Structure 1
Amino acid sequence: MVMQLTQFLHAAIVVSDLEKSEQFYGTVLGLKKIDRVLKFPGAWYEIGSFQIHLIADSAPVSETFAEKWGRNRHLAFSVENIETAKATLIQAGCEIQMSASGRPALFVKDPDGNIIELGEA
């Protein structure tokens, strides 16, 4: 008997400042906030059938990052236009790093340093 995975449901991200993280994920990235049933502090967002669960903790785990952000753990999303995404992030005051591969993709850190990749579909 072989276990068979059928769908990727969500990724949980630990954040230290829920309000700043909700601003980043909800306003800057434009993700749809959805109802959550858990009682501890956090917020849930949805993109297609995938969810991001923000978990508030005053002392999130920190780690050393590779110089090229894409070589670290990260979430990746597709965007229609990488230049529009880049302009939106810069306007929001986010530091970005373009993909070193030359493909139309960039990396951005959320307020806690979690890395998000945005790549042109």
Structure 2
Amino acid sequence: MIQIKNYSHTALVVKDLEKCKWFYGKVLGLASINRPKFRFPGEWYQVGNSQLHLMVRDEDIPIGSHHLAFETEDFAEAKRILKQNGIAVVDGPGKREDHSDYLFCRDPDGNLVEITFHVA
């Protein structure tokens, strides 16, 4: 068995890098980090102990239940900021059996994004 140490990163294919940089960097407030000089455009973000890698590639973007999930410290503020920026909630807000809050929205290229708040 491979001994996995930690979760490293998630890579997403995007078509409109500037709009996605606005969403992940400005709306969600993720910190941009250095990215190696690849032969294709992209942007990298730090997310806690993990990273999000945006890549502009000539691939189809699956529109389904595959998604990224980000935990927030202030669920009400997250909802307010999404609304303020014209980002529609496509599922929720709702509560899970463990009393955590959730909602789903889409990034500018249609990737499904979950925002959640876990009760301590």
TM-score band, normalised by shorter chain: 0.7 to 0.9
Q: 2:50 corresponds to which residue?
A: 50
Partners of 1:64 and 1:31 lie apart in 2 by: 23
Partners of 1:63 and 1:3 lie apart in 2 by: 29
The SS at the match of 2:54 is strand
Matched AA of 2:107: D
Structure 1: gaps spanning 5 or more residues: 66-71
Instruction: Report the TM-score, using the length of structure 2 for normalisation.
Output: 0.86
The SS at the match of 1:106 is strand
Structure 2: gaps spanning 5 or more residues: none
Measure how far apart 1:3 and its partner are. 1.1
Q: 2:85 corresponds to which residue?
A: 92
1:66-81 alignment, distance < 5 Å: 72-81=65-74
Partners of 1:16 and 1:27 lie apart in 2 by: 18
- Seq. identity, %: 40
Instruction: Report the TM-score, using the length of structure 1 for normalisation.
Output: 0.85
